[in-house]
Amino acid sequence: MENSYYNPKDLGKFGDIAEFEPQLAKKFFDYYGSVFEEGELTAREKALIALAVAHTVQCPYCIDAYTEASLEKGANEAQMMEAVHVACAIRGGASLVHGVQMMNKAKKLGM
Amino acid sequence: MKVASLVSRGHALKDPKEQLRVINSETPVLCTLPRFHQMLEQSGLYPLRPTGIEIFQMNLGYMCNMTCKHCHVDAGPDRKEMMSRENLEHCIRAIEQLDAQTVDLTGGAPEMHPDFEWFTERISKPGRKIIVRSNLTILVTNPKYRAFPEFFKKHRMEVTCSLPFYNKFTTDKQRGEGTYDRSVEALLHLNSIGYGMPETGLELNLVYNPAGAFLPADQAALEADFRTNLRRRHGIEFSKLFTITNLPISRYLEFLIQSGNLDAYMQKLVEAYNPSAAAGVMCRNTISVAWNGILYDCDFNQMLEIPVETESSRHIRDFDPEALNARNIIVDQHCFGCTAGAGSSCGGATAKA
């Protein structure tokens, strides 16, 4: 905190949030663990989704963790970059599609 | 970047003692990690004992046409170590004495040994599995080596070959420019003579190892990915995929140091220690013979020059299976590579992660 808001070592301390409130932490981590279990989606698909979301929420901890997790689930670099582009496309598209709202309003106001 | 062997560069890590010093105590983090033998003790496996010699593994020499970035052998075209005819004869006697069911030929590129065919013919017999660990590219190098797949087939050898990924980017990054395309050519040729094809009984296995400082993916999931992608992209078929974890020695150790990943990788291996993988480590059912006839618990101990404990049977000329089966297997910090997650051996994963 003294020199930077982010410290890579803090990622390894994620579990320590239980120190201030154990019950909710337990519920969260149990849930988190279940989410990433192999289900209808494979563990690798979930890791790639997490990687894309990590870029959307721009969480450096998550990018660190899910880059490694994606590789360890057998994803390759090109797949990972495609996942980031998916995040980028949705994020960019989300801005752009609001252009329709702008157009609606402009057209209503215009002559 | 062109890779050269540690030996040819006169690198400090060419000395196995230096490698052991580094992985044991190079940094404060490494000093504080639990020792491998302590973990075995906690699992009730120390001292680690053999379960009997099932696999007779021979390293025919360190010469290779390739110089891969991660090679634990530090193999390359400049390496001249090669098993002598005399030691090959000792091996033949040992194989017959054991009536070994599995003989595993590795290197370097084992095909580059001038006596490879002579030796195979001497030990080949029905019911004995002879594995050749091929780097694939050697099989498309020149007419001499292009003829090898037919020779493998004649002796129904199992071909186990390296292919770190089903794409060019990752494969060439680890094994050198052009490797992927030449590997595909070799695999298609092996397929064309029946290797990896259903109902031929000609086994063609692929070996995956991570192209970086991370653990391998689940073996079954990765096998399915390889199968789908190699079939779709090239029409390639194969029998099984083995995932192998990179051990922190030799050129892979150099990579870990240079990339600043050594501490984190060793921590990862230690944290992923799996007692059931420890129970299934390959050194328990394998004996490794080096080019110079010295016996080792495994190919990794061979590269670290840690011979078997058994003084009376430390060379292939003195091969004594009974004495060897009574030995304690020698372990050190590199052994965490074989016990992480789903475990790792020359035959792939050894346990459930």
User: What's the pLDDT score for residue B353?
Assistant: 77
Kindly provide the b/e burial profile for residues B224-241, where b requires at least 16 CB atoms within 10 angstroms of the residue's own CB: ebbbeebeeeeebbbbbb
Which candidate from A44, A68, A78 shows the least CB-CB separation from B214? A68
- Residue A3: per-residue pLDDT: 81
B334 within some domain: no
Does the beta-carbon distance from A76 to B169 stay under 8 Å?
yes
Q: What is the C-alpha to C-alpha distance for residues B301 and B299, in angstroms, rounded to an integer? A: 6
Closest CA to B73 of B298, B279, B326: B298
The CA distance from A18 to the nearest CA of chain B, in Å, is 21
Q: Which residue of B has its CA nearest to A74?
A: B217
pLDDT exceeds 70 at position B1: no
Indicate whether B174 belongs to any domain.
yes
| Domain-located, residue B38 | no
In terms of Cα–Cα distance, which of B201, B294, B276, B315 is closest to B39?
B276
CA distance B169 to chain A (A): 9
Instruction: Specify if B172 maps to a domain.
Output: yes
Q: What is the pLDDT of residues B98-125, one digit of tens each?
A: 999 999 999 999 999 999 999 999 999 9
**Whether the predicted pLDDT of B338 surpasses 60:** yes
Domains of chain A: 36-109 (1.20.1290.10)
- For residue B3, the model assigns a pLDDT of 85
Contacts for B249 with CB less than 8 Å, ≥ 6 apart:
B16, B19, B23, B72, B300, B303, B304, B334
Is the predicted pLDDT of residue B343 greater than 70, yes or no?
yes
**What gap in Å lies between CA B188 and CA B182, rounded to an integer?**
10
The B-side interface with A (CB below 8 A) comprises: 165, 167, 169-170, 210, 212, 214-218, 221-222, 225
Chain B neighbors of A70, CB-CB under 8 A: none
**pLDDT for res B217:** 94
Confidence of residue B352 (pLDDT cuts 50, 70, 90): confident
Stretch B230-251: mean pLDDT: 97
Confidence band (pLDDT; 50, 70, 90) for A57?
Answer: very high
Q: What is the overall mean pLDDT for chain A? A: 95
Asked if this assembly's ipTM is beyond 0.85, the reply is no
In chain B, the number of structural domains is 1
- Give CA–CA dist B32/B40, Å, rounded: 17
Coil, helix or strand at residue B117: helix
Residue B55 confidence (pLDDT):
97
CATH of the domain at B136: 3.20.20.70
Q: Phi and psi at residue B320, in whole multiples of 5°? A: -140, 90
Contact A76 B215 (CB under 8 A): no
On whether residue B78 sits in a domain, the answer given is yes
- Looking at the domain assignment, is residue B140 inside a domain? yes
At residue A5, the pLDDT reads 86
- In this prediction, residue B265 carries a pLDDT of 98
Domain membership of residue B343 (yes or no) is: no
A72: chain B residues, CB-CB within 8 Å: 210, 214-217
Asked if A71's CB is within 8 angstroms of B210's CB, the reply is yes
**pLDDT surpasses 80 at A96:** yes
Parent domain of B99: 48-246+283-321
Tell me which residue has tokens 């949705």: A90
Q: Is B2 among the domain residues?
A: no
Tell me the pLDDT band of B86, cut-offs 50, 70 and 90. very high
